[in-house]
A and B are shown apart, each in its own frame.
Chain A
Amino acid sequence: MFKEFFLKELGSGLRRPMVYIFLFIMTLMVWGAVVSDNVVIGGSIGNVYKNAPHIISMYCGILTIFGLLIATAFFNNAALRDYNYNFSEILFSTPINKFGYYFGRFFGALILSTIPLLGIFIGFLLGAAMGPAIGWIDADRIGDFYLASFINNYFLFIVPNMFFAGAITFAMANKWKSTVISFVGTLIIIVGYLISGTLLSDIDNETIAALTDTFGIRAYALDSKYFTPIEKNTLSVGFNGLLFLNRIIWLAIGTVIILGSYFSFSFISKNKRVKKNKEKANDVQIGKILVAPQITILFKSSTIFKQFLSFFSINFYSIVKSTTFKILFLFSVIILIATLAGGFEYFGLQSYPVTYKMIDVIGGITVIFVIIILIFFSGELIWRDRGSNMNEVIDATPHSSFTSLVAKTISLICVTSLLNLFFIIASIFYQFINGYNNFEVGVYLQDFLYNALPMYIIWSAILIFLQVIINNKYIGYFVSIILLFLFDIIMLIFDLQSNMINLGATPSYTYSDMNGFGAALEATNWFNLYWILFGLLFLGFSGLIWVRGFSNGFKNRIKSAKKHLTPTYAVGLLIISVLWLATASFVFYNTKILNTYKGTDELEEGQAKYEKAYKKFQDIEQPKITTAKYYIDIFPEERKLITKTALILTNKSKQNIDSLHYTIDKDWNMKLHIKNAKLVFEDKESGYLIYQLNKTLAPNEKMAIVVEASYISKGFENEVTNTDVAQNGTFINNFSILPSIGYNEAYELSDKNTRKKYNLKPKDRMPELKVDCGKDCNKNYLSNGSADWVDVESFISTTKDQLAIAPGSLVKEWEKDGRKYYHYKSDHASQNFFNFMSARYEVARKKWNGIDIEVYYDKAHPYNIDMMLSAVEKSLKYYTKNFGPYYHQQARILEFPRYSTFAQAFPGTMPYSESFGFIVNLEDEADNNVIDAVIAHEMAHQWWAHQEVSANVQGATMLTESFSEYSSLMVMKNSLKDDIKMKDFLKYDFERYLKGRSSEVEKELPLYQVENQMHIHYGKGSVILYALQDYIGEEKVNNALKSFLDEFRYKEPPYPTSLDFLKHLDTQVPDSLKYLITDWFKEITLYDYRLKEATYKTLANGKYEVSMDVEAYKLKADTIGNETKVKFDDWVDIGVYSDNDEKKLVFQKRVKFNATEMNFTFEVDSIPAKAAIDPRRMLIERVITDNVKKVTKI
């Protein structure tokens, strides 16, 4: 019996086209992603092949989410077919067996629903074969296929996910017999997935997040988190790890659900529940009207309005009262709660729930629900009359179709707006209960008006139009979804950027507490108007072609459209068209003529051209900047900035120089004034200029040039390109307003695949590290050869209500013509790396040893200012004591708008984004924290980057970023004095390194050859230097740093390399630990330790003897992640905790690890709870959970 139903289900599914259509779509999607360079899903970048087993697994996981819809369709169909065709009563009266009937259909549908997903594999196979053949991608982007990755993915992702989704859908369909409710079941799964994702924000919850993910995606992601490119390319997903556990859990849950459903399933149809008659028995009829009342019938404009209101309320309530809406609303609330429950975590700290954070949450959650509501209910409303057979009555009443359509549209807009407003209220409530009392209702409402409402209007109108013109609900849904989701992809493929042709797109803006809605607001509102008029126009057309009565067929619809086109209607349409065209022209004028923008392809082409034409000039000698005077006038309201820079150039080479080469930036309207020289070459497109000097510049000879540059904002742009010049919070640096001297290598394309597209050879990220580095060491990586140590003065002006700041001591401050002027002069020659800022600042000051510590902040963010002042002070104390003097008179922290999230160190002056340090809640944080750490890091740059700066070769950033990170950790360590807390903080650095190397695009390098890779110079650098000071002593590391700095402080080229530092370090490291320099700095070393068993026994002397069985390996990795086991003879810590939380480390000992299997025995004073290898986490291990074990008593 099972077999019959199974085969019947399968056969009937295979005879219908649905399964093939889905299969085709899946194949096409995956094929497209494999053969296209523009589409990147699952991280097939750099050295990871397009068809790597890891990528296949990611696709299988992610695409099964889409596969849910397929599963729902098949399982729902299997469950309800007999019922819907009223065949069930006939069928159930025959002697069929329940088991066969129930599970035959279920497993039939299960097999059917997995078939379309086989398209993933077909897509990969076809794409890998065809991609290189048709020349869309390179053959070296394709790797080998492994049979196991197909089979395992099928059984680990596709089958379990379809089974689980099927169990829920099938059970719900059998229970409630409603397609809508079955889809709600699908929705529950997706929401469950999203909720389990919110657990991910904290790395401590990763495992829970992985196991609660119904799809297994996060479990696999966690399993493969630290995969190197080579592992991604060769390892097929296996039946082990968290993923396997996850699969077992969800298969079990699915089985329970389906069995529960099976046992409650019965062939005997239940009586439909009859609602009890709650009517009161004696419903008194008051005043029975026997004569027809007199009525007045009026048709005037107020009637239209009343008709509109009546339509509106009927439509509005029909949405609000519908089960679908209630369920969607409930889910959105659940997601909101789940999102907010985690708060705004940042490195273990919480941010204040400032309004823009809440706005981001609202936007993120509402958008998906609004899209579902708009798509679903646009169809529902248009088909409502027909669906409930009311259309003939309604259509025959004397109303205008347009009234009804407008009412439908507005009810959609109102429902979505109410959802949004509800979220706003919930957000304010959240702020309230979190004690954040700065309720900016105005900001919420403005954001709603600028961002949400226009979108709701536009999409309501467009989706209504689609449903009307397509005149088939489900095709209408299909086209709506395609339009909403595929439009962006199409824009991407054709490299189109204009918001004018991307349906409903407007320039994005970022709300900042400092700068409000910023420069994008004007553009956003013009685009809103443009699209709203467009929507109205479409609504107008909808009114014409709206099917009233039975005018089916294209001809009849045209005929009735003509009838609807009354003169008033025509005039209305005409007026809207004219307004729309006028707005379109204005927007076009502003975004395409006043301002211009380039597509990605166009930009890449320009870069390639530049390289091909001017690379030959890379090594020509040019004079370097030795003195700079900046004259900068900032006009914040107009977003205008005018600069003039007087530079003294010196020929520091040993040759005569006869021509000057510059690359100028057109966006900054640069003009060069050079006396005694004439322009002999000008490339207007790329901005390459060559001046011929009338008289050659001899070695050590100086000359003066003047550079004018300005940024003048005109009208509005398609997307704001320059957020540096702001109404409040201007922040520019000198590289923006100066030309590049000579050929600028930074303009070159870097990605090797992109370079190949333009016939360029792969390029090295950085020049190779060599003992004898020659010319390479004459350039440092900050100024890249344009300057060495420079004397700088700045004259900067701004409006009266703002403060303008540049590095250096304030020499003079005055007012003239209602503007403020400042003259700053640097206290010491510095790198030519300067920032210029202007904003309405509050200032907090403190003095330490004659140095002015200042924090410039926005008055909305007064929370952490005292902590920041003291963080600067603590840093100054430690660094001056350990590394040498501070050469500036001041140390300034300056807040800037959150268009970027970083902090940066200029000489004595450190801009710090508003989005983290200033709004993190430190009220209950007595300990040092990441905000202090960032400040300490930037302060450390005043030594590491501003006193010594490294040559532009491999390893450069180790001498600046790694050292600064180390210095900052030392400040923290000396103030915390708690190893376990330090370990808790360092876990972010370990994570950064291990995750970073997993997505390395080119090649991983040892620390001393780092090529500006953040995961190496920040992550690995801090971990290694921290461990080093633990192994050889803090003082020794600091000695090495200090003597290195003494050698290179403010020294003219050649600049130092990492080898120079290693020389200084070498003298500080005892011979017994010299291996650390090789293992940690010069090679990529990973450790793999495991505590196999830990026991203790009580000794006669009242002490406890602990025994640990250890398994140990040491691995060396090459640049793409191939690992080889090596012999070892290393010092490693072992230790014992007295508590299960691993907080109290009561014993530790450094022992020699030199064999794979080892045993250690030692005595401790208190009862051991847990034993651990490397308890304070000094060494780089991928899996550390197996390093700790409970100690058992024997």
Chain B
Amino acid sequence: MATLKICNLSKTYPNGVKALDNINIEISNGMFGLLGPNGAGKSSLMRTLATLQEADSGTASLDDIDILKNPTELRKLLGYLPQEFGVYPKITAQQLLDHIAILKGITNGNERKELVNYLLQKVNLYNERSKSVKGFSGGMKQRVGIAQALIGNPKLIIVDEPTAGLDPGERNRFHNLLADVSEDVIIILSTHIVEDVTELCSNMAIMNLGKMVYQGSPQNVINDLKGKVWQKIIERNEINEYKTNFTVISDKMVAGKPLIHVLSETNPDNGFESVIPDLEDVFFTKIN
């Protein structure tokens, strides 16, 4: 059982943006979802955990490895799929994975070959193994990305916005893959897509403006909102009026008209009807 501990982690960029503001969290085996809008500081946290960025203060450790002071040791246990995963031109999937396998310390050639083949099958790219990765579709590239993150029995896997740009089928395959390996390792999945977390994670946190605004299990937080979320379809010109009179969590268009969710301990009447809250409601509640 591995534990990732983050204490008082802070980071301010030279332009004054507080990317991480005193983050404290403890994560153990399993899939951990990190939700947050764009610019919440998710990527900064991921990069710091992936030893790619210095923090100003605070500590982070995986079991007894101090991530900030001893990045090399952590890298030996790390699988990382960054938000922007590109590939070298003129190189095949097989060559790419082989290269990363060597970097991760798998020095035996036969073992490496077997592993690479195994991973390629696992991400369903075995038939494409000798093709240049450059020509792959976004989903295929992303699968190469997850394959490389799985190399070398990592104890900590960090995946940053992995499903952006994937079609639903690919997204499902991707989720299955992660679920497969999540039992014995820590997987941190950062995303702004609420469904990803709902479907996969037993634990989660929500970040906004560099701060942790919630952490716990998705179910708990949804339970908290039970009976407090109401919805109504309104006219487009009424939206500002509602926004001043109610705590509007979200508004989206349904059949050309705005459907608003509001937060209220009691029934606001006025044609509102109760809905069962989902993670999306939680998300908007926490960040607004």
Contacts and interface: CB of A to CB of B under 8 A. Distances in A.
Interface in A366-396: 384, 388-390, 392-396
Interface stretch (B95-103, B204-212, B230-238, B243-251): B95-103
A297 B88 contact: no
A296 B106 contact: yes
Interface string A734-754: 000000000000000000000
B117 A396 contact: no
Given A297-B153, A396-B78, A549 B51 contact: yes
B135 interface: yes
Interface string A302-322: 110011011100100110010
B108 A396 contact: no
A1141 interface: no
B90 A318 contact: yes
A1126 interface: no
A389 B126 contact: no
A299 B74 CA distance: 13
A307 B152 CA distance: 14
A389 B84 CA distance: 6
B178 to A, nearest CB: 15
Contacts of A297: 76, 104-106, 152-153
Contacts of A293: 111, 114-115, 118
Contacts of B114: 289, 293
Contacts of B98: 310
A285 B121 contact: yes
A563 interface: yes
Given A293-B115, A399-B103, A549-B47, A299 B76 contact: yes
Contacts of A298: 105-107
Interface in B90-141: 90-91, 95, 98-100, 102-108, 111-112, 114-115, 117-118, 121, 126-127, 131, 135
A292 B127 contact: no
Interface stretch (A112-120, A192-200, A553-561): A553-561
B190 interface: no
B237 to A, nearest CB: 32
B84 A553 contact: no
Interface range on chain B: under 10, 10 to 19, 20 to 34, or 35 or more? 35 or more
A567 interface: no
Most chain B CB within a 10 A radius of its CB, from A288, A318, A398? A398
A296 B108 CA distance: 8
A306 B107 contact: yes
A279 interface: yes
B171 interface: no
Interface residues of A, number: 47
Nearest to A277: B131
Contacts of B102: 306-307, 309-310
Nearest to B51: A396
Contacts of A302: 107
B115 A551 contact: no
A22 to B, nearest CB: 32
Contact of B52 (A279, A295, A390, A396): A396
A314 B105 CA distance: 17
B86 interface: yes
A550 B84 CA distance: 13
A685 interface: no
Interface string B59-93: 00000000001011101101011101111111100
Nearest to B82: A392
A204 interface: no
A1094 B131 CA distance: 74
A558 to B, nearest CB: 11
B85 A398 contact: no
Interface in A388-442: 388-390, 392-400
Contacts of A93: none
B118 A275 contact: no
A619 interface: no
Contacts of A294: 111
Interface string A936-980: 000000000000000000000000000000000000000000000
A283 interface: yes
A289 B47 contact: no
Nearest to B132: A275
Contacts of A295: 106, 108, 111-112, 115, 152-153
Contacts of A279: 127, 131
A177 interface: no
A496 B153 CA distance: 59
A556 B85 contact: no
A548 interface: yes
A390 to B, nearest CB: 6
Given A297-B153, A550-B47, A310 B103 contact: yes
Interface string A263-306: 00000000000010001000101001100111111110011001
Given A293-B114, A548-B52, A299 B85 contact: no
A553 B87 CA distance: 26
B53 interface: yes
A296 B111 contact: yes
A551 B145 CA distance: 23
Nearest to B73: A398
Contacts of B76: 297, 299, 398
B54 interface: yes
Given A295-B115, A548-B52, A393 B85 contact: yes
Given A297-B76, A384-B88, A549-B53, A314 B118 contact: no
Contact of A289 (B85, B121, B148): B121
B14 interface: yes
Nearest to A386: B86
B229 interface: no
Given A297-B152, A396-B80, A399-B103, A321 B90 contact: yes
Nearest to B127: A283
B75 to A, nearest CB: 4
Contact of A556 (B54, B75, B95, B118): B54
A184 to B, nearest CB: 17
B34 interface: no
A563 B71 contact: yes
A397 B104 contact: yes
Contacts of A288: 121
Contact of A550 (B53, B86, B100): B53
Contacts of A556: 54
Contacts of B88: 314, 318, 384, 388, 390
A453 to B, nearest CB: 28
B50 interface: yes
A1102 B75 CA distance: 103
A390 B115 contact: no
Interface string B227-271: 000000000000000000000000000000000000000000000
A279 B132 CA distance: 13
A643 B14 CA distance: 74
Contact of B53 (A384, A551, A563): A551
A496 to B, nearest CB: 40
B45 to A, nearest CB: 12
A1033 B83 CA distance: 95
A1069 B73 CA distance: 101
A1155 B76 CA distance: 98
A560 B54 contact: yes
Contact of A285 (B72, B86, B107, B126): B126
Contacts of B71: 563
14 contacts: A275-B135, A288-B121, A289-B118, A295-B111, A297-B76, A314-B99, A317-B90, A321-B90, A389-B85, A395-B51, A397-B104, A398-B103, A549-B47, A549-B53
Given A549-B51, A563-B69, 15 more contacts: A289-B118, A295-B153, A296-B107, A297-B152, A388-B86, A388-B88, A389-B85, A392-B80, A393-B100, A394-B100, A398-B75, A398-B76, A398-B103, A549-B47, A556-B54
10 closest Cβ pairs, A-B complex: A389-B86, A549-B52, A392-B82, A398-B75, A397-B103, A293-B114, A310-B102, A396-B80, A289-B118, A297-B105
